[in-house]
Structure 1
Amino acid sequence: MLKERSILLEEEEKLLAPYAQKSSQTGIREFAEAEHPYRLPFQRDKDRIIHCQAFKRLEYKTQVFVYSVGDHYRNRLTHTLEVAGVSRTVAKVLGLNEDLTEAIALAHDLGHSPFGHAGQDALAELMRSNGGFEHNKQSLRVVQKLERKYPEFPGLNLCYATLQGIMKHGGDYEKSFANLKRQEDGPSLEAQIVDFSDEIAYSSHDIEDGLEKKFISPEDLVDIQLWRRNFQTAKKTYPTAKEELILRTTFRNILNEIVSNLITTTGSKLELHQIETEEDVQNAYRKKVKLVSFSESMIEDMKELKQFLLVHLYRHKDVEKMSDQGKEIIYVLFDYFMKHPDKIPDSYLERENEEGRHRIVCDYIAGMTDRYAMEKLKQEGILWSPYL
């Protein structure tokens, strides 16, 4: 039996919790389109994101280590896929809309600049007097304006619920219906799950990459509660296993513990606050009640882990060296394109009168991969840094 749209909507209504986002109620777009016969709105959003150019470029954008360091470290794409996987797991168990959750997760880093957070810091500084730069806002800009795939409208024309979910911090976005709704109603549970899944993914996988690169060692982690108990459990469970397998088991167990804690704590809060409808979720937001959360002990464990990563990995001299080189490249490219607008692609240049040169240069550089940015330096004969 073929499942037509009406059947899919009926099944979704039965499967999802009453407080979840439903396609029939929230699958609304800025530009009206005919509905697809066998894909519901948020599945369509997910597919549009996966097929857009900005998503493809994530493979060569830095997470912690630039792509040239090695083949086995996370990049912005693998991080995004891990966030999507965690998000979908949590959404499924809590009865939330998996397609919406996954769509938000897949789009959350589309606006990230090359060279990771160092690149964002550089663009934020360069754009301070010209509207600023922040990668969450840039992600929204990518899906609403910069992607060009359809003759009928700019961007990807994603559903309002997806756009509101990408607005990670709410607040200071361009005035729009989606932004006003986000400010008034707060984030959906699906969007909140993605925020936490992002934190879970980078906190857990950055340990693995740091150990793989030998910037940190198991001995460095001995006082970190999350690490210690899961490492000891792995050794006790597999006393004859090689150290590499003990470490891999520890990584998996840490991830499982954090995700499980988020699920059980959030489930308890939904029950405690008697959340039964989408309106209940919105009222909780207005009362500043946090429905999606870790337990108090896990909050402390996560703080400890993130502080460790900040000191021992993100501020490691070699990571800072890579970050400084990335910033330098962005500073030089920005200056070059400000002075040579004829080198900017027409798709960006045609918006100069509307948005100004600073913004179009920012859009162009933010969309670059690490590799493309370095190639541009060589092509234009500007600068080449052998350290990246």
Structure 2
Amino acid sequence: MHASYSCDPAQTRGRLVAEEESAHRTCFQRDRDRIIHSSAFRRLKHKTQVFVEHEGDYFRTRLTHSIEVAQVARTIAGALGLDSGLTEAIALAHDLGHTPFGHTGEDALDALMQPYGGFDHNAQAVKIVTSLERHYADFDGLNLTWETLEGLAKHNGPVTGALPHALSDYNRRHDLELHTHASAEAQVAALSDDVAYNNHDLHDGLRAGLFSEQDICALPIIGAAFAEVDGLYPGLDPSRRMHEALRRVFGIMVSDVIAASRTALSDSGVQSAQDIRDLGRPVVMFSKDLWRDLKVIREFLFTRMYRAPTVVEMRTRVTKVVEDLFPLFMQRTDLLPAEWRADVERAKDEVALARIVADYISGMTDRFALQEHERLLG
């Protein structure tokens, strides 16, 4: 049963290019399925968040992360009476715009793109689904509904100030009302991202030996989860003990979002999806207490994982890969694949060329970027 403030697929604002509706799926379910079948989604299999893709088979990739986010989002959306098709579509697409090598790759590409308007992964995700995926006969991109695009563009809140080029370009043709908050479905996708990465970064960091169970037992929520497992299963083997404890942490975060959001939705008095956009504040959230605890966990992960010597060393190495490839492709456009050269020929100036090169590099997987760097620069 959907709540009155959920996004109703029957009331969609539609697609940029009009299409006949499907007999078997809602418009939002079709969006989700087009995202799953896109080339950019498949490439997430070989893109990482913290570790470089070849470092270990157990570490999360952007693909496994996106699937985990979609699972959490589906659960929360169902509990709040929201449209699960739309929530899932936004969750599955939220990382499509990421460069190789996680945030390190994005920082390097953004620095190189400063003279040409910068680089932003959220705006790039919109560009991918509105123009860079070129498989359909009637349009470039995936021709997603307004609601899915709105959620992709502003799931982290209103987008104000100077707009990233990739976003302003599409927004001129199809106004996504960037000054308002997004739907509750998009807000759920954003919070589910937090839930998923808090949980799996703890898991991956333990597996990589960057910190120990003893270290994280001193953190809020986590110590109590391990204590509960030890009480129920004394002498459990370490791997199962870790899994049991972290799944409890996961459950606490999801339950907290559902409870805090139910209260926020009830207190806000919203009656429609538009009311949520116009409210001026988010309605999907953690409780104050849990948010405070999560900040402690994030600070620990920042110091012990994202700034760990082995990770910092890798950051330096992969930053150089991006810094070497960008000027090379700017000077030698003949090194770009044939299907990109038609765009290069249409480029009117250096800014347009830089954006094409950034689109190409940002689409690379970790593995491919390393291989190309080796092949072209030795």
Q: Normalized against structure 2, the TM-score is what?
A: 0.93
Q: Kindly state the Cα deviation for residue 94 of structure 1 after the two structures are TM-superposed.
A: 0.5
Paired position in structure 2 for 1:295: 287
In the TM superposition, 1:110-259 aligns within 5 A as: 110-168=96-154, 169=156, 170-171=159-160, 172=163, 173-174=167-168, 176=171, 180-259=175-254
Give the AA of the match of 2:45.
Answer: E
Q: Is the 8 A contact 1:65 1:319 kept in 2?
A: yes
Q: Is the 8 A contact 2:146 2:176 kept in 1?
A: no
The structure 2 residue matched to 1:29, chosen from 11, 15, 21, is 15
Give the AA of the match of 1:375.
Answer: Q
Q: Aligned equivalents of 1:178 and 1:16: distance in 2? A: 31
Q: Aligned equivalents of 2:278 and 2:36: distance in 1? A: 33
In the TM superposition, 1:1-388 aligns within 5 A as: 15-26=1-12, 28-168=14-154, 169=156, 170-171=159-160, 172=163, 173-174=167-168, 176=171, 180-285=175-280, 289-352=281-344, 353-354=347-348, 356-380=352-376, 382-383=377-378
Q: Aligned equivalents of 2:215 and 2:259: distance in 1? A: 30
Q: Kindly state the Cα deviation for residue 182 of structure 1 after the two structures are TM-superposed.
A: 3.1
Instruction: Indicate the percent of aligned positions where both proteins have the same amino acid.
Output: 39
Q: Kindly state the Cα deviation for residue 279 of structure 1 after the two structures are TM-superposed.
A: 3.1
Alignment partner of 2:231: what SS? helix
Q: Aligned equivalents of 1:378 and 1:193: distance in 2? A: 41
Q: Normalized against structure 1, the TM-score is what?
A: 0.91
Q: Is the 8 A contact 1:163 1:178 kept in 2?
A: no
Q: Kindly state the Cα deviation for residue 241 of structure 1 after the two structures are TM-superposed.
A: 1.3
CA deviations 1:213-252 (Å, max 9, x no partner) are 1111112113210211111111112113112211111110
Q: Aligned equivalents of 2:153 and 2:122: distance in 1? A: 7
**Cα distance change of structure 1 residues 179 and 224 upon mapping to structure 2, 3 Å threshold:** farther
Q: Aligned equivalents of 1:326 and 1:144: distance in 2? A: 29
Q: Aligned equivalents of 1:124 and 1:269: distance in 2? A: 36
Give the AA of the match of 1:217.
Answer: S
Q: Aligned equivalents of 2:97 and 2:176: distance in 1? A: 22
Q: Aligned equivalents of 1:81 and 1:124: distance in 2? A: 27
Alignment partner of 2:115: what SS? coil
Q: CA RMSD in A?
A: 1.5
Q: Aligned equivalents of 1:180 and 1:235: distance in 2? A: 54
Gap runs ≥5 in structure 2: none
Gap runs ≥5 in structure 1: 1-14, 384-388
